[in-house]
Amino acid sequence: MSVQAYILIQTEVGKASSVAKAVSAIAGVTIAEGVTGPYDVIMRAESPSMEDFGRTVLAKVQAVSGITRTLTCPVTSH
């Protein structure tokens, strides 16, 4: 069973569009969109396991320039 999660992203001012584009190019990311509200970008990603998710998706997302904070929300049912 794969692991799926939404990641809520806060960015530096004016960086939402470039962050959404950058994270959408990461393997495992299924969608990334700019939004309004307390977060600037919301993305969804999946991976074969939680360990793989952390190593391949989260680590790459957190390395994207312009991100100030992330909140990962694992999906509990499919």
Q: Which domain holds residue 22?
A: 1-72
pLDDT at 1 over 80: no
Domain count, the chain: 1
**Is 41 part of a structural domain of the chain?**
yes
> What are 14-55's pLDDT values in tens digits?
999 999 999 999 999 999 999 999 999 999 999 999 899 999
pTM exceeds 0.85 for this model: yes
pLDDT at 74 over 90: yes
**Is 77 part of a structural domain of the chain?**
no
DSSP code, position 75: -
Largest CA distance in the chain: 37
**Is 25 part of a structural domain of the chain?**
yes
DSSP code, position 12: S
Cβ pair 17, 32 in contact under 8 A: no
**SS3 of 25, please?**
coil
- In this structure, what CATH number is given to the domain that contains residue 46? 3.30.70.920
